[in-house]
Structure 1
C-alpha cells in the first residue's frame, strides 16, 4: 500500500495543481503545424510499444511495423536473432533503398520466420543481427566494405514481455521512462495470456481525442447505454459513474474503476447471452487457474485503493499505449498511431489465458465482440467531435474533475512540443527581434520532418 498511496479524499484535480482548472486549449488537436511538431518532439523521442515477445516465438521469427507516426514511409523490422535477442531495424536495404521485407503490397505489415533477410530487388542478404553478409556480384562495386552497410538499427528494449522501440539514440532507458507504474506492475502474469483477438480501424480524429475518451467515464452512462440492460442503464444515467482512483506519474497516468465482478451479484443486470456464456463487456466471469491474479496476489500498482469492488485499471503510457487490466484475469491494449493531424490508426488487442473448452472460447469471443462495439461507439463520436473542434469556433473547453487525465494528456503533449521548440530556438513569431532566428529554426524542423 505504501508504494502507491491513495491521495486524500475529495477533488482529484486539486492534488495536481500544476494542471490548473481553467478550460483546456484544444488547438493541439487541430493545428497541422502542431502535429508536425508532435511527430518530432514526441513520436521520434518517446518509447513506443510495438507488440509482445509472443509474436517472436523462436529464433528467426520477425514482424514488420509501419510507423507513419514517426515519418512518412517509415517501416521497422522486429526480429529475434540467433542469440535470442530481440532487435529492431529500419526496413530498408542499404543498396538502393528498396523496402527489404514485404510481400505483395509494400504498405502491408508482414510476419514470418527466416534465417536471413534477402532483398527481392538485387538479392543483398543480411543476418538476423543486421549484418550485410552477401552482395550479388560484389566485385562490381568500388571499395565496398560490407561492415559499413549493415541494416540501420533502432533502439529496442523489452519490459515484462512488451517490446518497445525508440528512434532517439539519446533517450533514457526504457525502464526509467516507464517509471513507477511499470515497477508497480512487474510480476503480473502477462505471459500466461496468449490467446488474442485484435481489431484495427482508421479514425478520422486526432489521436489525443481517442485517448481522451478512454481516460474518463463521465460519458459512459450516456454514450454506452446499450451496453447494459434498461434498468441498469437508467440507474447509471441518474447517478453517474465515478472512478475509484486516479494517479499521475510523470508523463504517464492511470484510472482505476469498479465493475467486472465475476459473476455479477444480480444476473438480471446482464443480457441473456452473457448469462449463458458467463461473459460480456467486462470479460469472462470465471478467473483462469493461474497464479498472480487473485486480489491478494496483484502487484501494488493494480487496484491501488484496494477497493473491494475493483474491476479494472487503465494505465496510459505516454504517448500512445494503453494497458488495461481486468479483475477476472485478462487484459487488453490500445494503440493510437497518428497519420495526420485529423486521423490515426486505432488498434486493440485482447489477451486471455487460452481456453480449455468450447464455452470458454465462446466467452472470449463474446467479450471481444462486445468490446469492439464499445470502442467503435467512441470512435464514431470522436469523428463528430473533431469536425467541430476543427472549425475553430471554440478553442478552449471546460473539463470536470473526472476529466483530470485529459488535462494531463494535453499538458504533457504541449510540454514535449514546447521543450522541442525551445531546443530548436523556435521562438514566438510576435517577437520581431527574433524573427530571423525563429524562421531558421522552423526550417530546421521542416528538415527534421523530411528526414523522418
Structure 2
C-alpha cells in the first residue's frame, strides 16, 4: 500500500481509501474474546523482535524473554558456531523452566557452556542437544537425540533478532519486513552501544499505546509541561502537522520536521538543556554517522526531526535526526494490559559531558512515555464503559486506522484458514 507523498491539497487518509474516513470502533481493544483470537492470529504468526545481537556479545551469551501473549518463555543464545538461535525455555524431562534465577517469571541473561535444569540436572548444549541425563539407566529406551530443546524460528536483520512461533513462517523475515524497512539497511546500529532501557506495566490494550506514537497531533497539548510556557503556548496555538505518512504492507511510517534547540531563544529552552547541551531531540552535538540509508527522512525535511517506523505488530524503531535512535515494544499480557519497553541507543560517549547529554535525552523520553501511559490508562477505563463505540479520527491519525484494520485483517485471515479445523 505504498503511496506518493501528500500533494499540496488533499489528505493522507484519502491516499488510502481502503481505510475509510468515518468514525472507528475500539471494540478490538476491549473485547477479551477478540484478544484470545488475536494472540493466535497475530502474535503466533508474525515475526516478533525480541532483542539485538549486542545482548549476545560472545559464544555462550544468552537471554530469556517472557512472552505471555504466546504463553511461553524463550531462550535466545549465541551458539559455539556464532549463530543466534532460540528455544522454548522448557526441559524435556518434567517440563520445568530451564533457565531462570531466583524468580521463575523474571527474565535473565548470562554466559554459559550448557544449560542445566535446576530440577534433575538434565543438560543441553548451546545447539539445543540433550547431552546428559541424571541416572540415565533408570529410563526406558531413552534416545537422547530425540529430546533436544524445542526450537523457535529465529532470524536476524541488521542486528535485530526476530522470532516466529508459526509451525512454518508464512514469509521469510526479509519478505515480511518489505522494502520500506529494508531500505534502512546501512544505518550504523552496531555503533549505537550506549543503551538506556526502561519498562512499565500499563493498564491499557497494546494497540491503544501504539496509537499514541502513531501521531504527534497530541504533543503540544499532552506534553505542554515538558517545555517552557511560552513555547508550549505557541505550539498549542499553532498545532502540529507531520510532513509525511506512509503505509506499506502491515507496517507504517510517520516523519516530522525538527528544531535546532540551540538556535531557539534562551527563554524557549530549559536551563538544564543549556547546561547539558541536550534535550528532547537529543544531544546537540550530532555525531558523524556517515551516509544515511535511502529509507530515512523521505520527506527531505531540513531540519529533520524524526522518522518513526511502526513494524507490525508491536515494534517501533524511531530515528532522530540528531544521530541516535530508540525502540518501543508493546507486549500484551491481557486484553487490557501490556508491558511497554523503551530502549534508547547512542554512540559511546567520549566525555562525561556527552554521557550526561545522553542521560538527559533518555530521561526526557521516559517522562514523555509515562505521560502517554497515564493517558492511555484513562482511555482504556472509559472505552470499556461502552458509552461510546464510534470515535472520530483526523487526517493525521491515518496510521491508527491502519493498525486496527490490519489487525482485524490478520484475525479474519486466521479464522478463515482455521475454519472447521
* TM-score bracket for the superposition, by shorter chain length: over 0.9
1:399 aligned partner:
393
Secondary structure at 2:414's aligned position in 1? helix
Which position in structure 1 is the counterpart of 2:331? 337
Measure the CA separation in 1 of the matches of 2:273 and 2:65.
36
Compute the displacement of 1:253 (Å). Answer: 0.2
Distance in 2 between the 1:12 and 1:254 partners? 12
Aligned partner of 1:235 in structure 2 is 234
Runs of 4+ in 1 over 6 A off after TM superposition: none
- Aligned-residue offset at 1:262: 5.7
Q: Give, in angstroms, the shift of residue 260 of structure 1.
A: 4.8
Shift of 1:185: 0.3
* Structure 2 counterpart of 1:201: 200
Residue in 2 that maps onto 1:259 = 258
Which residue of structure 2 aligns with residue 437 of structure 1? none
- The secondary structure found in structure 2 opposite 1:36 is helix
- State the partner residue of 1:119: 117
Aligned residues of 2:310 and 2:317 also touching (Cα < 8 A): yes
Q: Is the aligned partner of 1:350 residue 2:348?
A: no
Counterpart contact for 1:256–1:313, Cα < 8 Å: yes
RMSD of aligned residue pairs (Cα, Å): 1.3
- Could you list the per-position Cα deviations for residues 35-84 of structure 1 after superposition, in whole angstroms to 9, with x for gaps in the alignment? 0011000011100000100000000000000000112xx10000000000
Match of 1:93 in 2: 91
Could you tell me how far apart the structure 2 residues matched to 1:261 and 1:84 are?
Answer: 43
Aligned length: 418
User: So what's the TM-score if we normalise by structure 2?
Assistant: 0.97
Q: Tell me the distance in 1 between the aligned counterparts of 2:261 and 2:180.
A: 26
Match of 2:17 in 1: 17
Determine helix, strand or coil for the equivalent of 1:311.
strand
- Quickly say closer, same or farther: Cα 1:376–1:326, change in 2 above 3 A: same
Question: C-alpha deviations, 1:182-228, integer Å up to 9, x for none?
Answer: 22100000111001111101000000000110001111111000121
Contact preservation (8 Å) 2:256, 2:301? no
Post-superposition offset of 1:4? 8.5
Paired residue for 1:368?
A: 362
Question: 1:309 offset after TM fit, Å?
Answer: 2.2
1:77 aligns with 2:71: no
Residue 268 of structure 1 aligns to a residue in which SS?
Answer: helix
Extract unaligned runs of 5+ from structure 2: none
1:104-115 matched pairs, under 5 angstroms: 104-115=102-113
1:44-443 aligned within 5 A: 44-71=44-71, 74-171=72-169, 172-261=171-260, 263-289=262-288, 291-292=289-290, 297-425=291-419
- Structure 1 distance, partners of 2:266, 2:154, is 47
C-alpha distance in structure 2 between counterparts of 1:322 and 1:338, whole Å: 15
Structure 1 residue runs of 5 or longer lacking an equivalent are: 426-440, 445-452
Q: Does the 8 Å CA contact 2:220/2:235 hold for their aligned counterparts?
A: yes
TM-score, scaled to structure 1: 0.91
Give the Cα–Cα distance (whole angstroms) in 1 for the partners of residues 183 and 260 of structure 2.
23
SS class of match (1:185): coil
CA offset at residue 5 of structure 1? 5.0
State the match for 1:432 in structure 2. Answer: none
Question: What is the CA–CA distance in structure 1 between the aligned matches of 2:103 and 2:337, rounded to whole Å?
Answer: 22
Q: Secondary structure at the match of 1:202?
A: strand
Structure 1 residues 4 and 418: alpha-carbon distance in aligned structure 2, compared to 1, 3 A threshold: closer
Q: Which segment drifts farther, 9-18 or 373-382?
A: 9-18
